[in-house]
């Protein structure tokens, strides 16, 4: 069975930090497990947080897949699969990685979203865990890029706009009848002065809060220096907080691994 965790929410709330630290803890908690990390944001930067590089994104394959050397359906399918494994999938020591990226030239992201859905259908069955860093918005949900989700983490900060976005994400998941096991809110960059109001507002809207992450000077320092966030030390406040969140998710994860 594959356990799928998505990290979503309003832009700028810290989804990439949280996704990278989830990967950090999963590699420790389940050392023999296989992990696929997906950067589903067209503004690709999760690889920097993970300290890896890539050759191509799914967006780079768009034109090649539309006009493959052999356009017959079977050959086209095999061509996509070979390009996916040879050109897009990055294999590192502890996890594998793919990035959605941007489409070639002008145009919408519909076809790249289709490629991402196609790639996830092919790849996810090969892994114990899939961690998806979603784009800022609701496009992946509305286009049903992700069909089955075990845990959806919606990241909010100290703004009411992030809470409104969280509510929209939850409602859209219901409207589209997506298969989501559990939806939790993570409060990032917690301001202790406004935390009581945040908690009251989230509980009033019937959200389940699985954890909070305080403002962490180490994260600011690593970000400024361009250092991979996955390399944050164990005494980092963010690392400790995400570790606590994974510990709370452990009862859901353990029966499936």
How far apart are alpha carbons 124 and 105 in whole angstroms?
A: 29
Mean pLDDT (the chain) is 86
Least confident of 131-135, 240-244, 246-250: 131-135
Q: What is the pLDDT of residue 137?
A: 61
How far apart are alpha carbons 204 and 164 in whole angstroms?
A: 12
- Would you say 14 and 157 are in contact if contact means Cβ atoms under 8 Å apart? yes
Is a pLDDT exceeding 80 seen at residue 74? no
- Average the pLDDT over 235-251 and give the result: 96
The pLDDT > 90 percentage for the chain reads 57
122 pLDDT band (50/70/90 cuts)? confident
How far apart are alpha carbons 189 and 236 in whole angstroms?
A: 13
Given strand 96-99, what is the order of strands in its sheet?
A: 90-91, 96-99, 35-40, 129-134, 3-9, 148-156, 179-190, 209-214
Structure-model confidence comparison of residues 41 and 77, the more confident one:
41
Q: What is the pLDDT of residue 66?
A: 63
135 pLDDT band (50/70/90 cuts)? confident
Q: What is the DSSP letter of 91?
A: E
Looking at the domain assignment, is residue 227 inside a domain? yes
Q: What range defines the domain where residue 64 resides?
A: 3-249
Structure-model confidence comparison of residues 86 and 22, the more confident one:
22
Total residues belonging to the chain: 257
Looking at the domain assignment, is residue 67 inside a domain? yes
- Average the pLDDT over 123-151 and give the result: 78
Is a pLDDT exceeding 90 seen at residue 76? no
Is a pLDDT exceeding 80 seen at residue 224? yes
Q: What is the pLDDT of residue 103?
A: 57
Looking at the domain assignment, is residue 254 inside a domain? no
Residue 36 CB-density burial (10 A; 0-12 exposed, 13-18 middle, 19+ buried)? buried
Tens of pLDDT, residues 80-95: 777 788 888 999 999 9
- Average the pLDDT over 193-219 and give the result: 94
Tens of pLDDT, residues 156-198: 999 999 999 999 999 988 887 788 899 999 999 988 888 899 9
The pLDDT > 70 percentage for the chain reads 84
- Average the pLDDT over 38-65 and give the result: 85
| Residue 256 falls in which region: left (phi positive, over 0), alpha (psi -120 to 50) or beta | alpha
Q: What is the pLDDT of residue 110?
A: 67
Domain count, the chain: 1
Half-sphere CA count of 38, side-chain side, radius 13 A: 28
Q: What is the pLDDT of residue 206?
A: 96
- CATH number at 169 reads 3.40.50.300
Q: What is the pLDDT of residue 123?
A: 85
The pTM of this model reads 0.89
């Amino acid at each position: 069975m594959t356990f799928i965790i998505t990290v979503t929410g309003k832009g700028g709330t810290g989804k990439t930090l949280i996704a990278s630290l989830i990967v950090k803890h999963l590699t420790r908690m389940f050392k023999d497990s296989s992990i696929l990390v997906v950067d589903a944001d067209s503004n690709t930067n999760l690889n920097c947080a993970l300290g890896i590089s890539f050759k191509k994104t799914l967006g780079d394959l768009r034109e090649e897949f539309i006009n493959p050397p052999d356009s017959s359906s079977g050959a086209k399918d095999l061509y996509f699969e070979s390009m996916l494994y040879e050109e897009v999938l990055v294999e590192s020591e502890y996890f594998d990685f793919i990035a959605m990226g941007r489409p070639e030239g002008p145009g919408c992201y519909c076809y790249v979203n289709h490629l991402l859905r196609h790639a996830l259908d092919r790849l996810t069955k090969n892994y114990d865990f899939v961690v998806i860093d979603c784009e800022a918005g609701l496009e992946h949900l509305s286009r049903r890029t992700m069909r089955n989700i075990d845990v959806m983490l919606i990241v909010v900060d100290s703004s009411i706009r992030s809470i409104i976005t969280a509510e929209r994400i939850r409602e859209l998941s219901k409207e589209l009848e997506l298969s989501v096991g559990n939806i939790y809110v993570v409060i990032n960059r917690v301001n202790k002065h406004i935390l009581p109001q945040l908690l009251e507002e989230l509980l009033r809207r019937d959200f389940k809060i699985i954890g909070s992450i305080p403002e962490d000077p180490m994260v600011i320092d690593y970000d400024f220096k361009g250092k991979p966030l996955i390399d944050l030390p164990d005494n980092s406040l963010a690392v400790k907080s995400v570790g606590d969140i994974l510990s709370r998710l452990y009862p859901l994860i353990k029966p499936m691994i």
